[in-house]
Amino acid sequence: MYKIKTIEEIKKISSKLKKQGKIIVFTNGCFDIIHPGHIKVLKRAKSIGDILIVGLNSDKSVKMLKGKGRPIIDQKRRCEILSCFSMIDYIVVFKEKTPEKLIKKILPDFIVKGGDYKEEEVIGKEIIEKYGGKVVIVPLYKKYSTTNLIRKIYENFKDY
């Protein structure tokens, strides 16, 4: 699980990579139940830079955002799953509700989010635009969201 770094480790790594001229891309999320929408965002994110850093919401953070019963998969296992994806270079777990502090440490060239966000809603937009960074929004696959998958599973298996 060499891809999983602490916030302080990723700050140093990011700084070193930027000095080498590498383009740093950041995305974040809960990644509770991986689906095609997640893969689409991760692939697009990797395609626009050299290094893809994923900020992963901690279990506590997911619960704050999504409520009771979430996450479905604990953060250790979510890290394990994400570390298997070749397009992801580093994973950093953050405990806050938003990745703002993490973005300030990494100072990525791009922040990539799924189409459920409008550019002006993206956390960190103002931070990275100050030094020329950009936000990229990836269109969603309409049927795929973790919430929709949970709902579908419940509806299909509630009588079991």
Residue 36, SS3 per DSSP: helix
What is the domain-level CATH number for residue 106? Answer: 3.40.50.620
pLDDT in tens, 33-75: 898 889 999 999 999 999 999 999 999 999 999 888 889 999 9
pLDDT of residue 1: 67
Q: What is the pLDDT of residue 36?
A: 86
At 116 the pLDDT is 83
pLDDT at 15: 97
Per DSSP, the three-state class of 4 is strand
Q: Return the pLDDT at 117.
A: 84
Q: Which pLDDT score is estimated for 13?
A: 98
Provide DSSP, 65-100: HH-TT--SS-HHHHHHHHHT-TT--EEEEE-SSSSH
Which residue range is the domain that position 46 belongs to?
4-157
Other C-beta atoms within 10 Å of 50: how many? 14
- Which residues, in sequence order, are CB contacts of 70 under 8 Å at separation 6+? 30, 32, 62, 63
pLDDT in tens, the chain (160 residues): 699 999 999 999 999 999 999 999 999 999 988 988 899 999 999 999 999 999 999 999 999 998 888 899 999 999 999 999 999 999 999 999 999 999 999 999 999 998 888 899 999 999 999 999 999 999 887 776 777 777 777 778 877 7
pLDDT value at residue 7:
96
Best CA proximity match to 24, nearest among 56, 43, 51: 51
Q: Which residues pair with 104 in a beta bridge?
A: none
**CA-CA distance, 51 to 112, in Å (whole number)?**
13
Category of 27 on φ-ψ map: left (φ > 0), alpha (ψ -120 to 50) or beta = beta
Task: Domain count for the chain, please give it.
Answer: 1
